[in-house]
């Protein structure tokens, strides 16, 4: 697509999201069960719009990364995002700043509480606990695809490729992070993600989180040739990772937990930034070598 077409898509996607978010939140409030169903529709709105653009531009169809791609990358997003959740839990518990309602960690294993864990509760060896967490994370991430596919087909499967082909890999991913942030903005300002600090969350923490997530999801998409690993990773964030953090009994303000989580997203993103730069340099070297051989 041309840059004008990309800009039109981005503006329409953000406008459609805002036009649904703002009246829905004002009418029903953030605590209404109705709002969750509306938010699922909002998550699918960029894909519905993308399909219109794809149908109107047949040349774009072959560029959409909708196939499964390299299967080895499918579980990677689940693993990394689950580890971020457990890293938040472990760091806060180790510092004496929180306790978990789910877990009591012991040298011989873990005592698990709560019905969320698919292989059951009670005392578990470390091996069985890791299997329990893995099965639960995979299951919840797959269920999460019902919502996250709506975003990730559009952002990673459709738009990322258009942006990176027009502006380069890293600028394209950063532009996508900005679009993704703006798309969320009304709910952020009204306190959906950061109820105690909506402005700090909206204009500092969430933009940084979008950068880290976009770099990781973008790298996953480029390496796998598919949007599905990113969709699974997104499902992990919204399910098991969020559940682990929400279940903490905190002895510090929530803001510090949000800062820690954002920092961990950025660490993963920075690693992916170097991996993406390495891929770019390798491709440039291959092109240079091919050109030299031709001469």
Mean of per-residue pLDDT scores for the chain: 92
Predicted pLDDT at 115: 85
Report pLDDT digits (tens) over 110-154: 999 988 999 999 999 999 999 999 999 999 999 999 999 999 999
Evaluate if residue 254 carries a pLDDT over 90: yes
Report pLDDT digits (tens) over 232-241: 999 999 999 9
Residue 87 belongs to domain spanning: 3-294
Taking residues 79-97, report their average pLDDT.
97
122 phi and psi angles, rounded to 5 deg: 95, -175
Predicted pLDDT at 277: 83
Taking residues 72-85, report their average pLDDT.
97
Report pLDDT digits (tens) over 8-46: 999 999 999 999 999 999 999 998 889 989 999 999 999
Place 58 in a pLDDT band, splitting at 50, 70 and 90: confident
Predicted pLDDT at 43: 97
Taking residues 202-216, report their average pLDDT.
98
| Residues 170 and 277: beta-carbon distance below 8 Å | yes
Predicted pLDDT at 295: 36
Place 285 in a pLDDT band, splitting at 50, 70 and 90: very low
Evaluate if residue 290 carries a pLDDT over 80: no
Place 280 in a pLDDT band, splitting at 50, 70 and 90: low
How many structural domains does the chain have? 1
């Amino acid at each position: 697509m041309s840059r004008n077409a990309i800009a039109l898509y981005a503006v329409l996607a953000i406008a459609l999201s805002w036009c649904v978010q703002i009246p829905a939140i004002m009418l029903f409030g953030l605590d209404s069960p109705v709002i969750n169903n509306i938010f699922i529709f909002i998550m699918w709105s960029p894909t519905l719009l993308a399909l219109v653009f794809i149908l109107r531009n047949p040349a774009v169809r072959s560029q959409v990364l909708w196939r499964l791609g390299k299967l080895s990358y499918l579980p990677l997003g689940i693993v990394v995002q689950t580890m971020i959740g457990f890293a938040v839990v472990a760091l806060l518990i180790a510092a004496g700043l929180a306790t978990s309602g789910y877990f009591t960690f012991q040298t011989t294993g873990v005592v698990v509480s709560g019905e969320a864990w698919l292989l059951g509760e009670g005392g578990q060896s470390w091996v069985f606990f890791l299997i329990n967490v893995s099965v639960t994370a995979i299951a919840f991430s797959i269920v999460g695809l019902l919502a996250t596919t709506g975003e990730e087909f559009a952002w990673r499967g459709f738009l990322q490729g258009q942006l990176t082909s027009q502006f380069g890999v890293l600028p394209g991913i950063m532009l996508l992070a900005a679009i993704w942030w703006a798309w969320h903005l009304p709910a952020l300002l009204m306190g959906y993600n950061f109820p105690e600090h909506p402005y700090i969350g909206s204009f500092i923490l969430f933009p940084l989180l979008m950068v880290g997530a976009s770099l990781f999801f973008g790298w996953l998409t480029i390496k796998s040739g598919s949007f599905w690993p990113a969709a699974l990773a997104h499902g992990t964030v919204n399910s098991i990772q969020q559940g682990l953090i929400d279940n903490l009994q905190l002895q510090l303000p929530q803001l510090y937990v949000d800062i820690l989580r954002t920092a961990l997203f950025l660490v993963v993103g920075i690693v992916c930034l170097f991996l993406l730069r390495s891929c770019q340099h390798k491709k440039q070297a291959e092109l240079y070598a091919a050109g030299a051989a031709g001469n």
